[in-house]
Amino acid sequence: MFAAVLGLSILPICAVTALAQGEATSPIQLVFATELAPLSFEKAGEAKGILIDIAREVFAVRLEQPVVTTLYPWERAQQMVRSGEADGFITVATTERDSYANCGRIPVLRADLHPIIRPDSPQRTDIEAARNLADLRQFDIVSYFGNGWAKQNLAGHKVFYAQDFQSSLYGLAQGRGDLALGTTTSGAHYMREPDLAGKLVMLPLVVDTFEYVLCFSKNSPHAAKLSEFERVLEVMRMDGGYAPILQGYGMAADAVY
């Protein structure tokens, strides 16, 4: 394991979207990862991101259901859903998450997962020759704490863990490991940051496709609202509700979602 490059605030970043005072319905408490832009991140003290904006649009605007969206280190956020302290999150369903949460089947967003390497890596030719995830077993992979997909799919691989996804890319750029695995959303976003621009390359190989779905804790009193959420997602796909959210974060309106 290695130390994270960037520190995390010990205070959660939270945003409340609610109805008028006196509303009897208790807010849905959703938690998100602190450093997973453009999906979820902090900006000027506010929780922002595609997943957060979609959750607010569905629950607060279209279903008139108060919702609280809060940022935490990802491992802690998952523990909160596991214990029932938080109602849910939007993430990739895994066997472990299915054990304590009811996860939907209709994706909020889809994103292909690719290897990311240093352009001058001595392993580049061998990594580029890989045809699937199994072919990457010989290389050292940099991931991050709370990455449930990695825990489920990288058994047998040598994996180093950073504090969060952004820190994993900084670690890779500074020489830690041979590669990271990142999506066309968050991976591509951070690779454009000034401190990483030109230092990392995303390869064409697609090792998996992430489908981010809403998951409610099995202890949540709001668990029955999952079907309502997915019904409204389908409506948003038909009425153009996704386009302004995606465009607001620099993504094409016709992006795969």
**Domain residue extents for the chain:** 13-109+214-248, 111-209
Is the pLDDT reported for residue 8 higher than 60? no
Is the pLDDT reported for residue 17 higher than 80? no
Is the pLDDT reported for residue 5 higher than 60? no
For the stretch 186-230, pLDDT in tens is 999 999 999 999 999 999 999 999 999 999 999 999 999 999 999
pTM, 2 dp: 0.88
Domain 111-209: top CATH class: alpha beta
For residue 66, say if its preceding peptide bond is cis, omega within 30 degrees of 0.
no
- The C-alpha atoms of residue 94 and residue 79 are separated, in whole angstroms, by 15
From the list 23, 202, 183, 193, the residue with the least C-alpha distance to 107 is: 183
pLDDT at 15: 53
Please name the residue that has the structure tokens 């609202």: 225
Same CATH fold assignment for domains 13-109+214-248 and 111-209: yes
Beta strands per DSSP E along the chain: 13-17, 28-33, 35-36, 40-43, 46-48, 67-72, 88-92, 101-103, 109-117, 140-144, 158-162, 179-183, 201-202, 208-217
φ, ψ for residue 69 (rounded to 5)? -115, 125
pLDDT at 13: 53
Q: What's the rounded mean pLDDT across residues 103-127?
A: 97
- In single-letter form, the type of residue at position 204 comes to P
Least confident segment among 14-18, 117-121, 123-127, 152-156: 14-18
pLDDT at 202: 98
- The C-alpha atoms of residue 79 and residue 69 are separated, in whole angstroms, by 16
Given pLDDT bands bounded at 50, 70 and 90, which one contains residue 14? low
Please name the residue that has the structure tokens 């409340």: 16
pLDDT at 255: 55
- The C-alpha atoms of residue 166 and residue 159 are separated, in whole angstroms, by 16
Architecture of domain 13-109+214-248: 3-Layer(aba) Sandwich (3.40)
Residues 143, 162: contact at Cβ < 8 Å? yes
Residues 171, 189: contact at Cβ < 8 Å? no
Is the pLDDT reported for residue 161 higher than 90? yes
Burial class (CB in 10 A: 0-12, 13-18, 19+), 240: exposed
Residues 195, 171: contact at Cβ < 8 Å? no
Pairing mode, if any, of strands 101-103 and 201-202? unpaired
